[in-house]
DNA sequence: TCTGGGGTCCTAGGACCC
DNA sequence: TCTGGGGTCCTAGGACCC
């Protein structure tokens, strides 16, 4: 049995919106919404706390967000910029422990089990991290801590914004019990609806639920969910994770019927995917074409090749072949995309290559997945 | 109100082999 | 005349996360 661990979950507050407010002082104190234009069918990628007061949330259609909050300033995302700031933040985390697992540009797990004593406890360590992130980036980070990932993650959410909440050893189950099931990572709209229909609304009720019933509802995941609800979670913090796919997709501002328009965008996406494959010194064996019809029905079609590739023309050719099989005259599409999967490093496909820092999702440079 | 773009993981069925 | 079991690879769709 592993001993008691100390896991932190660090999560930047309203990250993209906060970076914009920091970089553009005229935006401070105002509702800021980062995301695509409403005319281009954009959605909200991040909303400042001023905007959240109007009910604006991530993933909301931008048209609706701006109706909820007409005085909001919409800002197009600058992912390169967020990436730069992310690297600074991850470097701060890494200065405390090498055991960090980035989950996105603005979020990471840290295993500080070995550092806790030296820092005078988990709370002191978290306080130090918050101060250092603020010093380096002038941004706020919320930190949650506890015996495992589930507890740490929910604790960081519970403390937001600018939060710091450490759940004491032994108090996990009592901490989780009153919270809604939706607070658990892994329970989305569908699972929530199923559980609610079964009379299960809180994490505490999930912890007490019948194992057989959960297994019928969710398969093997059902029992895992109940364990999480009981505050039990042995998943390690994994600093290095292999990238499994690279994708590029476009939602058209207006539905597309014309085949040559589809083809043109598809070639552009293939080019983009190929470029990113080469950047990471990787090759793909599977090419996946993704199409979303105007009625939102989404299909995928894939082709697996004997040899991995990073060539634009090969990727485009496979994707176009799949497109020809699927598209019927008169079909209307709102999205087209390409995914390259079944990835291998160059050395695995017969070429000499040194270890490439871009290969892993988490790297020493703090390159979170983009 | 009309739904992004980047990902991960899981399930289930079919082909094929021994 | 009826019909194994295990393993691997592949495909399509869906739930979920940030």
> A322-370, pLDDT tens digit by residue?
999 999 999 999 999 999 999 998 754 444 333 333 434 433 333 333 2
pLDDT band at A34 (very low <50, low <70, confident <90, very high): very high
Strand, helix or coil at A213? helix
Which residues 44-73 of A interface with strand B at a CB distance below 7 A?
45, 58-59, 61, 63-64, 67
A186-229 falls under which CATH superfamily? 5' to 3' exonuclease, C-terminal subdomain (1.10.150.20)
For domain A245-359, say whether CATH 1.10.260.40 is its number.
Answer: no
In this predicted structure, what is the pLDDT of residue A220?
A: 85
Strand, helix or coil at A16? helix
Query: Which candidate, A36, A1, A77, A111, places its Cα nearest to that of A362?
Result: A111
In this predicted structure, what is the pLDDT of residue A3?
A: 82
Q: What is the pLDDT of residues A253-310, one digit of tens each?
A: 999 999 999 999 999 999 999 999 999 999 999 999 999 999 999 999 999 999 999 9
Q: What is the pLDDT of residues A192-210, one digit of tens each?
A: 999 999 999 999 999 999 9
CA A24 to C1' B11 (Å) is 47
| Contact flag, residue A244 CB and nucleic strand B, below 7 A | yes
CA A188 to C1' B13 (Å) is 26
Domain segments of chain A as ranges: 7-14+80-173, 15-77, 186-229, 245-359
For domain A15-77, say whether CATH 3.40.50.300 is its number.
Answer: no
Known catalytic residue at A107: yes
Instruction: Mark the nucleotides of strand C covered by protein, meaning any atom under 7 Å from a CB.
Output: 9-18
CA distance A104 to A94: 15
Does A88 have pLDDT greater than 50? yes
Q: What is the pLDDT of residues A105-124, one digit of tens each?
A: 999 999 999 999 999 999 99
In this predicted structure, what is the pLDDT of residue A266?
A: 98
Q: Which fold has domain A7-14+80-173?
A: Alpha-Beta Plaits (3.30.70)
């Amino acid at each position: 049995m592993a001993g008691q661990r100390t896991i932190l979950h660090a999560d930047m507050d309203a990250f993209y919106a906060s970076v914009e407010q920091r970089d553009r002082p005229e935006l401070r104190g105002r509702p800021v919404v980062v995301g695509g234009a409403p005319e281009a069918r954009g959605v909200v990628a991040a909303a400042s706390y001023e905007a959240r007061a109007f009910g604006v949330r991530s993933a909301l259609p931008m048209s609706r967000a701006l109706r909820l909050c007409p005085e909001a300033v919409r800002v197009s995302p600058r992912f390169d910029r967020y990436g730069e700031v992310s690297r600074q933040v991850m470097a701060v985390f890494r200065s405390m422990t090498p055991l960090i697992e980035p989950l996105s540009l603005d979020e990471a797990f840290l295993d500080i089990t070995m550092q806790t004593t030296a820092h005078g406890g988990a709370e002191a360590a978290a306080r130090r991290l918050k101060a250092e992130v603020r010093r380096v980036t002038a941004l706020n980070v919320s930190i949650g801590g506890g015996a495992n990932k589930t507890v740490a993650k929910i604790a960081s959410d519970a403390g937001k914004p600018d939060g710091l909440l450490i759940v004491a050893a032994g108090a996990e189950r009592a901490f989780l019990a009153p919270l809604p099931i939706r607070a658990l990572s892994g329970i989305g709209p569908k699972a929530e609806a199923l559980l609610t229909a079964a009379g299960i609304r809180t994490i505490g009720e999930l912890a007490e639920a019948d194992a057989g019933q959960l297994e019928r509802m969710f398969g093997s995941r059902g029992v895992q969910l109940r364990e999480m609800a009981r505050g039990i979670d042995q998943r390690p913090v994994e600093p290095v994770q292999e990238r499994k796919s690279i994708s590029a997709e476009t939602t058209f501002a207006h539905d597309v019927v014309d085949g040559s328009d589809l083809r043109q965008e598809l070639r552009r996406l293939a080019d983009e995917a190929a470029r990113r494959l080469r950047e990471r010194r990787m090759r793909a064996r599977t090419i996946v074409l993704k199409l979303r019809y105007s009625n939102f029905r989404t299909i995928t079609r894939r082709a697996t090749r004997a040899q991995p590739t990073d060539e634009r023309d090969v990727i485009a050719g496979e994707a176009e072949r799949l497109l020809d099989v699927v598209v019927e005259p008169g079909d209307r599409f709102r999205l087209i995309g390409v995914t390259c999967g079944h990835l291998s490093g160059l050395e695995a496909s017969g070429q000499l290559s040194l270890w490439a820092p871009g290969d892993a999702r988490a790297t020493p440079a703090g390159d979170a997945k983009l």
